[in-house]
Structures are given as structure tokens and as C-alpha cells.
Chains A and B, each alone.
Chain A
């Protein structure tokens, strides 16, 4: 137990170490990743070390992480801050939001980046030109236009119904699956649909946004959302994105991730250079190979700490249970139950208890490694040749001497096998730890899954598979060194 405590302390220490490291979070979609990369690269160019804690999921997880200090900054939208964080009815002006955040949470926002990622109506550029429709209010003059919107937009308060009333639009909208809407426009099944103003598809399918000339939609201005405790110099860097990105530009950046499958760091970097925020020759911190190496390091650290903690608990416990067999059934049963909890569920259970990040992941992995090690220790001790146990007692070894000199050494191959199983399970399960912001190779997999990017999934999956094989080999070697040749397990 002491060891675990120590390891936990080390972990916390590492996270809180040094003023020069700034932890940047990201919300779980292309635009979130691209903006977070921009923030990260600007800070890195300014001399800070950046710890990228991407994959934070939705608004509540990201905000919670920022509020509790698990991250220092992430990009957010004013409309979201107003509705979900400050729980106010309508979007307030930037100054009001800014004052309320500082007052209530000790958090600050930068001036807006420039684009407004709000709900919008889109139509094909060609049709817009032909009918001379630029504003939503122009739709009144074309009652024959077919409108299809997502079911959500059909029902929302700030959706179609109230929009139609506010603008006095005569058309009836039909509901359809959002994923099909763009295709439907191209095939001329519908003429107008709802979208987010910076969707990468808008440019790709040659659509235009209709201007919300009556300002019906709330503003969703992108801003840097950060802790008031950040040094002023860092805050100044975070403000350097202000008024630098237009809707059209953000659409193009999103399209690059969506259709050209460019990496977020690459997209962010070339844009920042284009805008003169970053120098051409500033070194790119997040070159893919370096990033993979870093994530592999995190992955190994997670696995190793959990494994060491588990060994230091499960082996002594197994020995104790062997000496007191009545307890052993209960303990093995309990460890078995822990094993049956799905990894994702166990990780999720950790969040309310210890928050997000490395600590809950280590704890979950620790629980997962317990059973194989515990079971193999108990079984290994029980299956030592009874003749040898009998002789050991007969020649005068007491129970502990017998354990130490005979039973434990003879169970060593079995115990090692348990540890090896636990290690390999851990390497695999640790990929899921990315879901709660623990980093590691799972980050690529989780991001890749979210973005449907097979390359990125493989970037995480291949090294973790290699890591599992290396783990096997390392244990093969340990066994080769630690166990006399004639007692080694016959490898199947």
C-alpha cells in the first residue's frame, strides 16, 4: 500500500510540476482539435512546454477539467458558455460573460477568434446567385424552396419553428437525418438545410451560408477559455488568435481534416504560418514520430506503475491467503468480480472518485492486474509438490522458512506467468484510459474513432500491439534469468 501511495504522490507531483508546462484540453471533434493544436503551438513557440490533454469529450468534462485545474486552457464557444456553463437564457455580450466567469469560477476568456460557429441555413452557391438570396429574410420571396432540416433543429427553441415565425417564412420544413442533408441538396431533393457555420462540408459541396440578418441565432464565438492563474505572458499568447479566423477559413480548415485527412497539428501549423502568428522556421513540436514516442512513453508509464503497485499488493496478499486458506475463496471471488466489470465502466466509475487523468487510469489498471497475479500466486503455492512440503517440515523448517526457502521459489514460474498475463492485459486496457484523459497510445485510437480516421486508429493500435509483444518478450527474458532452466515453464 505504501508503494501505491508513493507512486500516486509521484504522479500528482509530475502533473503539478513546474510553471512552464501548460495543459491544453480539446473538445471531441475536428474543430476542437484544430483550435487546441493552434493554442498549443502558439504556446510552444512562446517557450512553454505544452501537455496536450485532448479527448476530453463534451462541454461538461472539459469545463470540469478546467475548473478543477486538470487542464489550463481549451477552446470554447460563447453561446455554450452562456447556456451550459452560466445557465443564462440568451447569449450575453463578451464583456458580460467574461466578468461573470472571472467572478464565479476564476476563469477568463480571450477576445473572440473571429468566426461564429452558430446554427445557420445553407444552400447551394449556384442557386443562391441565381435567385439572389443572401439573407434568411430573402427566403420570404421564394416560397417554393424546399427546406429539410435535422430533427433536432426542427424541435429546438432556437430552431426552425421560431425561426420561421421570426422571419415570417411561408415554407414548411421536413425533418431528415443530418448526415443525408448535404447529399439531398446536391441531388436537388431539398434546397436549404441547417448546418454549423464552420462545417467543412459547406465549402466542399459549394454551399453558402445565408446571413442571419435579424440576429435570430445566438452567437457561438470561439474563444480561448483559460484559468485566471495563467501567467500574463501566456494569456497574451492566447489572445493572439483574436480576430484572426473567419468562418470561411474555419470551414476550409475543417474540410482539410475531413476530406484531405491531414493531421490536426499540420493543419494548425500551416494556418498559423500563413497568418504570420508562427514563423516558418519555428520548430514543429508535434512531429508525428515524436508524438508517437511520447504517447508510447505515457502508455508504458501508466502500465508499469499500475503493474508494480499490483505486484506489491497481490503477491503478499496471495501468500497470506495461502497461509489462511479460508480467506482465499472470498478474496479470489472478490478479485474475480472486479475483473468482470467492463474496463470502460470501471474507468467511468473512477471519475467521480478521483477525477480524470492518469491517477484514475492507474487505479483502474491496478484493479485489473490484481486477479491474474493473486490467483497465480495462490495456485502456484498450492501446487508445489506435496512431497517437498512434507520433507521441508520434516527436516525442521517452520512455516515461514518453508514458504521462503521452498514454496515461493518453486511457485516463481507460476507467479511470473500471472504477472505476465496482467502486464499484457494492462497494455491493452491502457488504450481505453485515453477516454478519461490519461494519455497514452489510446489517444490516437479514441481520436481516430471519433473522426473515423483509420490512419489515426492504426497510429495508436500498431504501437500498442508491438508493445504487447515486447511485454511478452521482456517476461520471457525475466523468466529465463530468474528461474533455473530445468524449472522453466514449457512454452506452448
Chain B
């Protein structure tokens, strides 16, 4: 599979700290959402952000891709502080998947997947190759390419959402509870696709979830948020330990 023409190849990013947060605070009016968050996401690893709803997970994710500007603190992407004025170009290097998928209902599956490639002005040949590769990865038949999103099941739609996020082979992938609405069987199969993709094309993944088992299956590292603060963090082993103690944070 030749991805030379897909612009954002992982190998071009040398800096070890792909995403780093320094003293991030965020709030709306009097309400504090994030307080003094500092964290360095490990390159090419999956980091799960755990926590109950309202603990600030989504805000943290949207702070990373600049959709939310922090009240104080610095977000560094690829070693540089975020430049909000040119954020759209930066976002092409950051895949984004959300729980309600957000496929564009007026576009076919093929167009949904490749919408960013047209913006990044990739060549048709490389677009076709990339579509075939991703459809293969998520095990969807090519007959789906001409369908519209509403003709697919929820699980199939989320697979397409994943493909759209990975289309430009971005070094970073942000995932906001992408599997929350799927049944267990579908989940299990998508997890396999995720891990396979991570092996082929390793990238720095930030995965929001409230499901501890999901975090345990997919993540290499974890951050546990409560009321906008990091209350625990560590690697897979530490997460396993934490869960076996059955502590509810």
C-alpha cells in the first residue's frame, strides 16, 4: 500500500512530545471545567481518558484540537504552541471521531471518507488506493462506497467515521466516546480493526471513554479525570491494578 501522496505521514514527525498540555484551565462563567491539567501524551500510543460524564473529558479533547481555547495554560502540538489562526490546516493532521459519528448525510460513503483528501488536494490515484486500504481494514464491502450513511447500521457508520478520521494518515487521532452506542459484538470487532490499524500505522491516539473495560482493551496509558482534575494516571498495568481493586474514582 502506497501512501506517499497522502500528505501527513507519521514518519515526518520527529518530536517525541506530539501533544503536551501545560497547566490547562478551562471554565464557562463561574463553572470550572478543567483545572491545571498538565500531561504529555505518549507518541504513537493509545491513551484513554476516563471519567464520569461532566468530568471535563470532551472539553479536554476539544482543547487539544483547538475547538476550545483554554482560559490559561499552553497546548503544544508537535512541539509548537497551537496557532489558532491557522488551526484548520493543523487539524488535517489530527483525526477526529465523535460518538454520534457525524457522517454527512448528503454525501456517499466514498465522499464522506475522502472529503479531507479533496481539501488536501491529494491525487485521485492515491485517494482510490487509500479508500481501498481503509475499507479493507474495517472490513466493509466496496459496494458500500456508493451508499448513503442512513443505509448503513450504526456500527458500519462508525467504521466509516473512523476511516474518515484516518484518511490522511494523521499522526494524531482524537476519539470522543466513539463506541458508546454500539453493541458488544460490534465493539469487539471494531476494537480489532483499531488495534490492527495501530500496528500498521501507529499514531498518537486520545480515546475518551467511560467504559473501563474498553480502556483496558485498547489503551496503553490512561488519565482519570474527576471534576476537571487528573486524579490518577499511568500505564496499562496500573490501570489493570486499579480496576481489580474495584475503586470507583
Which residues does A use to contact B, with CB under 8 Å? 387-388, 390-398, 401, 405-406, 409-410, 412, 484, 486-487
Task: Assess the A486–B91 pair: CB atoms within 8 A.
Answer: no
**Cα A427 to Cα B115 with chains together (Å):** 40
B1: chain A residues at CB < 8 Å are none
B165 interface hit (Cβ, 8 Å): yes
Q: How far is the CA of A390 from the CA of B90 in the complex (A)?
A: 16
CB-based contact A394/B148 at 8 Å: no
* Residues on A with beta carbons closer than 8 Å to the beta carbon of B105: 388, 410, 484, 486-487
CB < 8 Å neighbour of A393 from B67, B92, B100, B165 = B67
Chain A min CB distance to B58 (Å): 11
Most buried by B among A390, A391, A412, A486: A391
Q: Is B44 an interface residue (CB 8 A)?
A: no
* Contact for B100 among A387, A405, A412, A487, CB less than 8 A: A387
Q: Per-residue CB proximity of B79-91 to A under 8 Å, as 1/0?
A: 0000000001111
Complex contact A394–B106 (CB within 8 A): no
B133 CB-CB contact with A under 8 Å: no
Give me 6 other A-B pairs in contact (C-beta within 8 A), A390-B98, A487-B105 excluded. Answer: A391-B96, A394-B96, A395-B96, A396-B90, A409-B107, A412-B106
In the complex formed, the residue of B with least CB distance to A409 is B106
**How long is the Cα–Cα vector from A208 to B150 in the complex, in angstroms?**
84
In the complex, what residues of B have CB within 8 A of residue A396's CB? Answer: 88-92, 94, 96, 116, 119
Give the chain B neighbours of A409 by CB distance below 8 A.
104, 106-107
Instruction: Kindly identify which residue among A391, A401, A484, A486 contacts B119, using a CB–CB cutoff of 8 Å.
Output: A401
Given A387-B102, A409-B106, A410-B106: A397 touches B88 (CB 8 Å cut-off): yes
A424, B65: Cα distance in complex, Å: 47
Q: Is the CB of A390 within 8 A of B102?
A: yes
Name B94's closest neighbour in chain A (CB-CB).
Answer: A396
Residues of B within 8 A of A (CB): 62, 65, 67, 88-92, 94-96, 98, 100, 102, 104-107, 115-116, 119, 148, 150, 164-165
Instruction: Indicate if the CB atoms of B106 and A484 lie closer than 8 Å.
Output: yes
Question: Given the complex of chains A and B, what is the CA–CA distance between A401 and B119 in angstroms?
Answer: 8
Query: Complex: how many Å from CA A412 to CA B105?
Result: 13
Q: In the complex, what distance in Å separates the CA atom of A234 from the CA atom of B106?
A: 62
Interface centre among B90, B119, B165 (most CB of A within 10 A): B119
Indicate if the CB atoms of B104 and A397 lie closer than 8 Å.
Answer: no
Contacts of A393 in B (CB 8 A): 67, 88, 91
Closest beta carbon of chain B to A414's beta carbon, Å: 13
> Which residue of A is nearest B170, CB measured?
A396
By a CB distance below 8 angstroms, the chain A residues around B89 are 396
CB-based contact A487/B116 at 8 Å: no
Residue with the greatest number of chain B CB neighbours at <10 A, chosen from A390, A392, A410, A412: A390
Residue of A nearest to B62 (CB): A394
In the assembled complex, the Cα of A393 lies from the Cα of B102 at a distance in Å of 11
Note all chain A residues with C-beta closer than 8 A to B67. 390, 393-394
Q: How many Å lie between the Cα of A69 and that of B89 in the bound state?
A: 61
A395 touches B91 (CB 8 A): yes
- A395, B100: Cβ atoms under 8 Å? no
The chain B residue sitting closest to A412, CB to CB, is B106
The residue of chain A having its C-beta at the shortest distance from the C-beta of B61 within the complex is: A394
Report whether B65 and A398 are in contact in the complex, using a CB–CB cutoff of 8 Å.
Answer: no
Q: Could you name 7 residue pairs across A and B whose Cβ atoms are closer than 8 Å? A: A387-B102, A394-B96, A395-B91, A395-B96, A396-B90, A398-B88, A409-B104
Chain B residues whose CB sits within 8 angstroms of the CB of A387 once the complex forms:
98, 100, 102
A389 → chain B, closest Cβ, in Å? Answer: 9
Measured CB to CB, the closest approach of chain A to B75, in angstroms, equals 15
A486-B150 in contact (CB<8A): yes
In the bound complex, what is the Cα–Cα distance between A392 and B62 (angstroms)?
13
Chain B residue contacts of A484, Cβ below 8 A: 105-106, 148
Query: Which one of A395, A412, A484 has the highest number of Cβ atoms from chain B below 10 Å of its Cβ?
Result: A395
Q: How far is the CB of B127 from chain A (nearest CB, A)?
A: 16
Q: When the two chains form the complex, which single residue of B98, B102, B106, B119 contacts A487, counting CB atoms closer than 8 Å? A: B106
Smallest Cβ-Cβ distance to A413: which chain B residue? B106
CA distance in complex: A409, B95 (Å): 23
Q: In the complex the two chains form, what is the Cα distance from A412 to B148 in whole Å? A: 17
Residues of A within 8 A of B91 (CB): 393-396
Q: Is the CB of B116 within 8 A of A395?
A: yes
A388 / chain B contacts, CB cutoff of 8 Å? 102, 104-105
Tell me the smallest distance from the CB of A394 to a CB of chain B, in Å: 4
- Whole-angstrom CA separation of A394 from B165 in the bound complex: 10
Q: Which 6 A-B residue pairings sit nearest by Cβ, starting from the closest?
A: A391-B102, A396-B91, A398-B88, A394-B96, A396-B92, A409-B106
Q: Complex formed: what's the CA distance from A393 to B116 in Å?
A: 11
